[in-house]
Structure 1
Amino acid sequence: MSSQPDHDGVPSAAIAKQAQAWLVRLRSGRATADDAAAFRRWCAERPEHARAASLMLEAWDGLEAASAELDAEDSAADSTPHGQRGARPASWRAGRRAFMGAGVAAAASWLALRPPLQLWPALGDLAADYRTATGEQRRVVLSDRLVVEMNTQTRIDIVRTDGGTQGGAHGIDLLAGEAEVVAGAGAGSDSAAPQPVVVRAARGSLQAVSARFNLKRSGDEVCVTCVAGEVTLQHPQGRFTLTAAQQITYGNRVVQPPVNVDSSLVTAWRRGVLVFENAPLSDVVSEINRYRPGRIILRNAELADARVHAQVALAKIGGAVDLISKITGAHVTRLPGDIVLLS
């Protein structure tokens, strides 16, 4: 299940910038009929082109609507006799219009930096040393002692220390997403005291000489599951050791006590399947959104608490919406851009 960022149905940052350039050009007041025809051809080339243009246009129109409201207010103020409350100087109105005009011109750029509903990668995401797109999984061999299996929508940076092998990565910093880390897999027999692999995630630092563990980061919350071997977590709240089938969750200020889990369920994604056992639908939707283009949106709070028992094959992630509807009875509304409303 491998794909490139611009081949998985999700507009890439590059496509978002192209859409930005088109919209700026077409809204400049100098566009020609040939420009419009060329834009239509560009949108027809790939679904991602049309999706990026549509989403940017929506945000742009929203700013223009706000600008129109301000114009209406200013017109009302113009009709107010001078000196009465509500009248405003022309310089003030001009400043407001200039501000809104700048906002309209910057809308597409803002969307490239902060895409709505995470429908495409933000430009800042591209700065990571390694990243995976929606639905992409990637194996990265960083040294003879460190192998990282990256899951969908994951970003990592390389961490090197003085004790690392020459030219090799001694650890990683998990910026977002999920990864399975194999530490010490290729350690040579002549290495009497190998340096531990270091994995940073938020405010925690994990160390392992020989272990396999899964870690998942969402914002500043991190969940670590030890699959084999032993992993040590160093956190401002203390030091914790995990052995096989133990899991720990932490944030910036709080570390939950380690618990015993079935690690095979946590790592099911490595076998190409998602397993949900009595999980709230809100969690199910959040997880599936990491693997499919577009976005599933829950519009019913009661529905969000519905409990789900299900297995979803990643190769058939497109059928997840129909499966959810069958299990929960949710009404499905499909919108352009692979956006789905459940109510």
Structure 2
Amino acid sequence: MRKADAVTADHAQEEAQAWLVRLRSGSMSRAETESFQRWSAEHPQTAALLRDTWNLLRTAAAELADESPAAANDEWLAEARRDKTVRTGRRAFVGFAVAAGASWLALRPPLELWPSLTDLAADYRTGTGEQRSVVLSDRVVVEMNTQTRLDVLPVQAAARGIDLLAGEAEIDAKASTALGDALLRQVTVVAGKGRMQAVTARFNVRRGGGSVCVTCLSGSLALDHPSARLTLRANDQVIYDDRKVEPVARVDPSGFVAWRRGVLVFNGVPLAEVVDEINRYRPGKIILRNPALGQNRMQAQFPITRLDDVIDLLGRLYGARITRLPGNLVLLS
């Protein structure tokens, strides 16, 4: 493909993403609708790919809905009893979508306004602002935070476990009530290059931005990483990436797990990071257009259910200009 043709194709794809945002808002005017029809006629291949990609996403969502267990308490048992071809077929579906040429939109949704195909391929996922519980056994429960994806590890005699693909989860492994049963009920959590194992512990794991943060809330757990092996006890926290493990730090874990109480806590955090965190819980997107504004530090806590009120608060505190657009898009400048 010539360079000029590539630039034209990229521009058409950017326009397609913009149109999808407008279409999903459900508030297009008649003039905008006519403009979209003209654009579709001028770019028939890109418009057709846009429609095909959206249909693929809808099909994937419907297939996963059909797989959902009927009872929440039987979720792990239902997963364990599945035929292995279920997960293989789901991965193959994603591969087919990519091969069909849908990867530019399905794998990288504009502004992350809808689930990507890789999101839909996970065994369990939560959407923006959603939280859910996954029961691994009679004594191991995983609480999933917003925008989290995980797979259930294959069943082993000595362990139950998950692979945290993205997002945040709190794992609660309670003490066994049966004599000699503890060794048969170990929980394993894989996140990136790290593998955590515990018999009795409660710990929080957050994966994003290329790193993993593990906070031990009670009990103890072992972390195995290519560059280190260590044990975490209550109030210990460690951060690692694919290459290294940072030194263990002692922390007050209350702020790190405030989401379990429906609250976001910020202790001297730059506003840019506050906006990023709010975007994990709030549908749509807040876009910070003023880098200087993002350097302001914030000391506050907000209920997760009232994050729209926070936007107005930021305007009053920092004199930011607020522009609200369809699709829950907000510009801060």
Q: Same fold (TM over 0.5)?
A: yes
> How do 1:87-236 and structure 2 match up within 5 A?
101-108=44-51, 109=53, 110=102, 111-164=105-158, 170-191=160-181, 193-236=183-226
- 1:232-264 per-residue CA deviation (whole Å, 9 max, x = no partner) reads 111111112211111111111122111111101
Say which one has the larger Rg: 1
- Residues 171 and 298 of structure 1: is their aligned pair in 2 closer, same or farther, counting only changes over 3 Å? same
> Secondary structure of 1:124's partner?
helix
- Residues 325 and 53 of structure 1: is their aligned pair in 2 closer, same or farther, counting only changes over 3 Å? closer
What residue number does 1:328 align with? 318
Provide the C-alpha distance between the structure 2 equivalents of 1:255 and 1:212, rounded to a whole number of angstroms: 21
Figure out how many residues of one structure are paired with residues of the other and give that number: 259
Amino acid paired to 1:288: I
1:183 Cα deviation from its structure 2 partner: 1.6
- 1:160-204 per-residue CA deviation (whole Å, 9 max, x = no partner) reads 343247xxxx00011111110012345533426344210001111
What residue number does 1:89 align with? none
- 1:131-187 per-residue CA deviation (whole Å, 9 max, x = no partner) reads 11111111121112310011111111101343247xxxx000111111100123455
Q: Mean alpha-carbon deviation: is it higher for 238-247 or for 283-292?
A: 238-247
**What is the TM-score normalised by the length of structure 2?**
0.70
> Secondary structure of 1:317's partner?
helix
> Secondary structure of 1:282's partner?
helix
- 1:191-226 per-residue CA deviation (whole Å, 9 max, x = no partner) reads 263442100011111111111001111143111111
Amino acid paired to 2:252: D
1:310 Cα deviation from its structure 2 partner: 1.0
Q: Is the 8 A contact 1:146 1:171 kept in 2?
A: no
Provide the C-alpha distance between the structure 1 equivalents of 2:230 and 2:149, rounded to a whole number of angstroms: 25
Provide the C-alpha distance between the structure 1 equivalents of 2:256 and 2:204, rounded to a whole number of angstroms: 8
Tell me which of 265, 284, 291 is aligned to 1:294: 284
Provide the C-alpha distance between the structure 2 equivalents of 1:185 and 1:121, rounded to a whole number of angstroms: 36
What residue number does 1:243 align with? 233
Amino acid paired to 2:295: D
Provide the C-alpha distance between the structure 2 equivalents of 1:306 and 1:216, rounded to a whole number of angstroms: 25
Q: Is the 8 A contact 2:134 2:141 kept in 1?
A: yes
What residue number does 2:61 align with? none
Provide the C-alpha distance between the structure 2 equivalents of 1:101 and 1:49, rounded to a whole number of angstroms: 17
- 1:300-335 per-residue CA deviation (whole Å, 9 max, x = no partner) reads 111111100111101212212112223332221111
- 1:43-68 per-residue CA deviation (whole Å, 9 max, x = no partner) reads 9xxx99742797xx99x97xx69x97
Q: Is the 8 A contact 2:212 2:239 kept in 1?
A: yes
Query: What percentage of residue pairs aligned between the two structures are identical?
Result: 51
> How do 1:275-294 and structure 2 match up within 5 A?
275-294=265-284
Amino acid paired to 1:229: G
Q: Mean alpha-carbon deviation: is it higher for 267-276 or for 212-221?
A: 212-221
1:270 Cα deviation from its structure 2 partner: 0.4
Uncovered stretches (5+) of structure 1, i.e. residues with no partner:
1-22, 24-42, 69-99
1:130 Cα deviation from its structure 2 partner: 1.0
- 1:85-116 per-residue CA deviation (whole Å, 9 max, x = no partner) reads xxxxxxxxxxxxxxx75344323424344211
What residue number does 2:92 align with? none
Uncovered stretches (5+) of structure 2, i.e. residues with no partner:
1-15, 54-101
